[in-house]
Amino acid sequence: MRPVPGSTEPLGQLSPQPWMEAAETRAVVAALTADGADVRFVGGCVRDSVLHRPIKDIDIATHDAPEKVAALLERAGIRVIPTGLAHGTVTAVVGKAHYEITTLREDVETFGRHAKVAFTDDWTADAARRDFTMNAMCADPQGRIYDPFNGLADLGAGIVRFVGDPMRRLEEDVLRLLRFFRFFAHYGRPPMEPQALAACRRMAPQLSRLSGERVAGELIRLMQAPDPAGVLLVMHGNGVLEHILPEARAFGALKVLSWLESRALVRPHVEVDGIRRLGVVLETDADGIAAIGERLKLSGQQVTRLSAIAVPQVLVGRDMDDTAARRALRRVGGDTFRDLVLTGWARERAVEGRPCAAASVQWTRLLDMADCWQPVALPVRGADVLALGVPRGPSIGAFLSQVEQWWEERDYRPDRDACLDRLRQAVGV
């Protein structure tokens, strides 16, 4: 059953937007409207402009067929990438700016995630294909907002509401289930829309149909929200997390880490980090991290980082002195050390609850050390051992390890000459 649309007249007006006034945007709009076509900005750029948030992508819709769109752009000297001609999409490139342009479509028949579509000139039919009412708004080049499904009201109230029947929308594409929670984390205010939440609960077992990459993408974007812990708790309570990330249990530590990253600390090297947040919420062992990496198709770098956070091999605590901190820094590097400080702080605060000024000073001291850390290398190498007459083999490494331990115990202060003297003593020459 198609959703009942609201007014087809403009219902709002965007304030002047730099991205709309940009020369690149004006050039694309001029090219697309040269023969009289109606074009509108759609999706996230309209939604985020209403909220005065930064704009990431600029998407445009038109009733012209994709071949005509490409011809209009090329006629204006604009580079065209045939992103998905069969689906009605091309990309216009002006300088460094990219604009995805899609011909209006309506569903003729749906088959799960796949649908038979037809091009149309009906703006409301095109909007009816979108997932949430706040994403079904569009705006013309003059900034007039068209809102066939009351997305403005929902956006203002913090309601993430499906366009039409939630169950049907989830049956069309179960990825929308994770998008619902992700959008709530970024745009919603409690409570969640009851019909949507109930549909998500019923469809949660179907999440196993999704590829790991798609699940990981949604999870990491959700983790970048101001307070992802509250949303994960709802997902846990409604049987969603058990199908995608049952290892997520440390919600308190995640909540504190999110507070540290986004509000408590103002530092150039501390910012919202989805992988760091994912690492702190996990309760598992090394094998569990490997399984998560395989399940979510994470990169080797991401798995290594998750492992360092969730199953740390180097323990970092606020009571460690500067010498111990420098040893840890040399072993793991500044970035990983910073991860361990922030997640260690979050775990401690999640357990203790009440803030402690002295503890904050100690944790901040460790962050300062991470920010200032410059990697140091042992001043002697294998060639120096060989030069002393030691034959090739495992003894080379053994002698270097002796010198390195001595050098480390002296806080990396001995220079090359001192290390060479120590090496000679170790070798016995």
For the chain, the distance separating the N- and C-terminal CA atoms, rounded to the nearest angstrom, is 89
Torsion angle of alpha carbons 407, 410, 413, 414, nearest 10°? Answer: -50
Q: Exposed (0-12), middle (13-18) or buried (19+): which is 198, by Cβ within 10 Å?
A: middle
Which pLDDT score, from 0 to 100, does residue 263 have?
A: 92
pLDDT at 83: 85
Q: At what angle do helices 175-187 and 228-237 cross, to 10 degrees?
A: 140
| C-beta of residue 426 within 8 angstroms of C-beta of residue 399 | yes
Q: How much is the pLDDT for 86?
A: 78
As a whole number of angstroms, the distance between CA 240 and CA 197 comes to 10
Structure tokens, 340: 């361990």
Long-range contact set of residues 64-72: C-beta below 8 Å, sequence gap at least 24: 64/32, 64/35, 64/37, 64/103, 65/103, 65/119, 66/90, 66/103, 68/35, 69/32, 69/101, 69/103, 72/31, 72/32, 72/34, 72/35, 72/37
Please give the pLDDT value at position 386. 96
Tokens describing residue 314? 């180097």
- Tell me how crowded residue 165 is: count the other CB atoms within 10 A of its CB: 14
In whole angstroms, what is the distance from residue 168 CA to residue 121 CA? 24
| pLDDT score of 429 | 84
Please report the pLDDT score of residue 165 as a whole number: 97
Distance CA 367, CA 425 (A): 38
Three-class HEC string of 122-162: CHHHHHCCCCEHHHCCEECCCCEEECCCCHHHHHHHCCCCE
pLDDT of residue 3: 47
Phi first, then psi: give them for residue 67, nearest 5 degrees: -65, -40
Phi, psi of 125, rounded to the nearest 5 degrees: -65, -40
Q: What is the pLDDT of residue 115?
A: 55
Closest by CA position to 249, among listed 278, 283, 206: 283
Burial class from Cβ neighbours inside 10 Å (0-12, 13-18, 19+) for residue 267 reads middle
Residue type for 179, please? R
The structure tokens 């999706």 sit at 43
**249 vs 141, 204, 233, 237, 280, CA distance in Å?**
47, 18, 9, 11, 9
Tell me how far apart the alpha carbons of residues 89 and 102 are, in angstroms, rounded to a whole number.
4
Q: What is the pLDDT of residue 110?
A: 57
Q: In order along the chain (429 residues), what is the average pLDDT of each group of 10 residues?
A: 60 94 98 97 97 96 96 97 88 97 82 66 95 98 97 98 97 97 98 98 97 98 97 98 98 98 93 98 98 98 97 95 94 97 97 88 97 94 95 95 94 95 93
